[in-house]
Chain A
């Protein structure tokens, strides 16, 4: 097993571990803040997974800068030497969305705390059945 594979497996493993930790936190923790944290961790895991998928070892950033063009001569060759840019674009979007969701979530937590005087999710059950 080459170093590269180990590296990739580590990244995949880390991503999946993050998702699992996030899920675990969301499902078992009773504190609202911890649940929001869990959601964030889950998001990060997914984002990391995206990056890992797009990453190809020994390749450069997907920017057609003059220096890169000078090195590879043709656009095609330059593209061959770059990592896939799409996952990165997607991850940027996903991060922004995740940020937005977290912000809304925290705002809701504040609201819930004011309303119920607790951050224990078990005690916030006015709506049921």
Chain B
């Protein structure tokens, strides 16, 4: 309930700084070429630090940080809400953003233009993703979604040699559908309520005409569902994940999909008051989980397999949130954190594995553990974490998720989720076995990761193990976040009390 207008620490910077530097970047590049690498890094580091400071502040005081833009109080003006839930997700994105930067610091050192484009787009996609999460305005959310989208299309098509353009075109086509539907949904809400502020909509949602309310919900659900990679709306996702540059796979998994998921959850939990929204999330979650994980079993390319696995995790998160119980939401947020960390680690390491294999097939990476022991080990840690072996972080989120299911006595669901987990185990360990057992087939010069990529991976692995050994590092934040997203009234009140 405090409008922090501190000059150094304010959520506005999450959006303002990346946008500012993104457009300044070409100029900076003219001054000194390495600026295009260093400046984003400084910015990401600063924003990650700021996110942590803000989150700690919110956590300690219990008051969300809400910023009104241009001096107009909501519902007229646009507000940015950094509360326990949005703040947590924003912090995760901010930290991952910094790690992605670190990983790609020397990524394209040789080509200036490419590096410029890359870091520029990275900052845009970062701003868009965080914007989707912290904005309190529905139309604003749409705009950020589009910023994320356009930069994601460009990043997907980043490499000329690959089928990047094809993937990007698919992404764009489906993404345009998403934006059309979201826009139509917003339009319907606006005609009925005359407001675009989420809290204001949530407050007055029962004043809407029931039919139009349902239609608006369906449109928004579909639109955000596309961004959240929900089955069957996710046809673009495997292509985009697999064709984009390595670290961008991590960005998709940890930022854009989280943004879409956040929008979906905000929609179901706060904006609309449909109890069926949870059922819908539940059903779609199960479909997403089962189809994605099953299809991942039959993948021949490593990044495509990771993409399907990532989609499957999204399904799992949707299931967790759909319970609408404290434990379920808690598990969902934990899964989001975990997914962001572990999938990033997997993409980081797998992209080096794929980079060195001639055709990116899983069978091509055999025996690479001999060339790249650390990368292979990082991949192994990622696999262990995602399967949920203790003492890696995946264990706790899985345990909480199953506890949430047990709380509702969904025994069949537990068995289903665990069977899918078994499928996951099979395909991940197949890769691991290829990596470690098979004899290397050909003579290729492996591109071993540079120190910066190595550092990023090791940091991620350390975070994963630290959370696994001592989950209380994050459970406090996650607990508050779960309360925050489930408590609609507090959200509305805190937005209007500034």
Contact = CB atoms under 8 A, between A and B. Distances in A.
B183 A94 contact: yes
A32 B150 contact: no
B150 A104 contact: yes
Contacts of A26: 173, 177
B190 A109 contact: no
B187 A53 contact: yes
Contact of B165 (A42, A49, A84, A112): A112
Interface residues of B, number: 37
A46 B187 contact: yes
B176 A39 contact: yes
A93 B149 CA distance: 15
Contact of B180 (A46, A112, A126): A46
A112 B175 CA distance: 18
A5 to B, nearest CB: 16
B273 interface: no
A43 B180 CA distance: 7
B13 to A, nearest CB: 22
A127 B154 contact: no
B184 A126 contact: no
Interface string B186-206: 110011001010000000000
Interface string B333-355: 00000000000000000000000
Contact of B157 (A35, A111, A126): A111
B239 A127 contact: yes
Interface of A is mostly: helix
Interface string B156-171: 0100100101111110
A78 to B, nearest CB: 17
B152 to A, nearest CB: 10
B153 A108 contact: yes
A61 interface: no
B14 interface: no
Interface in A13-29: 19, 26
Interface in A47-74: 49-50, 53
Given A127-B239, A127-B242, A104 B163 contact: no
B150 A90 contact: no
A99 to B, nearest CB: 11
Given A39-B173, A87-B190, A46 B183 contact: yes
B185 to A, nearest CB: 11
A81 interface: no
Nearest to B298: A129
B146 A101 contact: yes
Contacts of A42: 176, 180
Interface in A85-129: 86-87, 90, 93-94, 97, 100-101, 104-105, 108-109, 111-112, 115-116, 124-127, 129
Contact of B172 (A50, A84, A97, A105): A105
A94 B239 CA distance: 27
Nearest to B76: A86
A127 B243 contact: yes
Contact of A127 (B150, B163, B184, B190): B163
A97 B243 CA distance: 24
B187 A112 contact: no
B143 interface: yes
A23 B110 CA distance: 43
A89 to B, nearest CB: 9
A101 B157 contact: no
B190 A104 contact: no
Contacts of A125: 166
B179 interface: yes
A96 B17 CA distance: 21
Contact of B150 (A100, A116, A124): A100
Interface in B193-241: 194, 196, 238-239
A108 B180 contact: no
Contact of B143 (A46, A53, A93, A111): A93
Contacts of B98: none
Interface string B239-274: 100110000000000000000000000000000000
Contact of A19 (B165, B180, B242): B180
Contacts of B477: none
A87 B239 CA distance: 35
Nearest to B172: A105
Given A97-B143, A101-B146, A109 B187 contact: no
B187 A32 contact: no
B139 interface: yes
Contacts of A46: 180, 183-184, 187
Given A32-B169, A42-B176, A100-B150, A108 B143 contact: no
A108 B176 CA distance: 14
User: Which of B166, B194, B242 has its CB near the most chain A CB atoms (within 10 A)?
Assistant: B166
B153 A111 contact: no
A86 B143 contact: no
8 contacts: A42-B176, A43-B180, A86-B190, A87-B190, A97-B143, A101-B175, A127-B166, A127-B170
A-B CB proximity, top 10 nearest: A111-B165, A127-B239, A126-B163, A97-B146, A108-B169, A39-B176, A112-B165, A108-B165, A53-B191, A46-B183
